[in-house]
């Protein structure tokens, strides 16, 4: 078991109800190659999610403008992670996802207009959690170059949370957004309260 050393504190997003456990950090640090492979899948999916919003709501001009940028950035991240995979001779293989994404998606109400609100907030929470966990990898990863890579990505994921939040706030009442974000954040932390046995970014 690796020792978790508390070093430099990186910025956090206070939308998250519970911080990630040391158990996850230990699991991730013992499985850096699998974490990199899962990370590649996460970046590709993040780009896909941004695109899917544009297919579902093509007339929401502000949303389309913001998510065009996010989709491009996530694809850039995808490419960067894939370069790390190549360097380490990790094939771009499929990997079963942890229950996290599906469990969160199940929280999205199926009817208008709340489907849109919930989808924005769930996506924002996933970005916030990615930001937190990439930050933990940046702090604790024993390989300095890889640690720097994680640190470089963190800022974008924090910004992405901000964009999804601002979009929710653009299309819905502030009060409704805050209340729903609070509810979903409780569920998000609850899903992660039991560590998934397979190492993943969101295990
Ligand atoms: Fe990303
Ligand atoms: Fe992102």
Domain assignments of the chain as residue spans, ordered by start: 22-91+101-191
**Tokens in use for 101?**
């994404």
Pick the closest to residue 81 from 96, 92, 71 (CA basis): 92
Cα(135) to ligand 2 centroid in Å equals 13
Question: Would you say residue 201 has pLDDT above 80?
Answer: yes
Q: Return d(Cα 203, Cα 47) in angstroms, integer.
A: 20
The tens digit of pLDDT for each residue in 47-85 reads 999 999 999 999 999 999 999 999 999 999 999 999 999
Cα(156) to ligand 2 centroid in Å equals 6
Question: Would you say residue 6 has pLDDT above 70?
Answer: no
Q: Give burial (CB, 10 Å; 0-12/13-18/19+) of 159.
A: middle
Q: Return d(Cα 86, Cα 175) in angstroms, integer.
A: 46
Instruction: Give the number of other CB atoms < 10 A from CB of residue 5.
Output: 8
Cα(173) to ligand 1 centroid in Å equals 28
pLDDT band at 12 (very low <50, low <70, confident <90, very high): low
The tens digit of pLDDT for each residue in 93-152 reads 999 999 999 999 999 999 999 999 999 999 999 999 999 999 999 999 999 999 999 999
Q: Which ligand is nearest to the CA of 81?
A: 1
Q: Return d(Cα 38, Cα 122) in angstroms, integer.
A: 19
Q: Which ligand is nearest to the CA of 127?
A: 2
Domain topology for 22-91+101-191? Ferritin (1.20.1260)
């Amino acid at each position: 078991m690796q020792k978790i050393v508390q070093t430099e504190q990186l910025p956090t997003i206070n939308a998250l109800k519970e911080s990630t456990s040391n158990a996850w950090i230990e699991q991730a640090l013992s499985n850096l190659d699998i974490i990199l492979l899962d990370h590649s899948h996460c970046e590709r999916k993040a780009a896909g999610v941004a695109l899917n919003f544009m297919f579902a709501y093509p007339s929401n001009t502000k949303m389309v403008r913001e998510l065009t940028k996010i989709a491009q950035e996530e694809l850039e991240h995808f490419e960067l992670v894939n370069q790390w995979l190549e360097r380490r001779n990790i094939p771009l293989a499929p990997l079963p996802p942890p229950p996290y994404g599906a469990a969160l998606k199940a929280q999205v109400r199926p009817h208008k207009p709340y489907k849109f609100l919930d989808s924005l907030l769930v996506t924002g929470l996933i970005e916030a959690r990615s930001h937190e966990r990439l930050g933990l990898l940046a702090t604790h990863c024993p390989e300095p170059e890889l640690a720097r890579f994680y640190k470089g990505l963190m800022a974008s994921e924090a910004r992405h949370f901000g964009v999804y939040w601002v979009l929710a706030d653009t299309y819905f009442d502030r009060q409704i957004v805050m209340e729903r974000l609070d509810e979903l954040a409780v569920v998000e932390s609850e899903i992660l309260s039991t560590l998934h046995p397979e190492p993943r970014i969101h295990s």
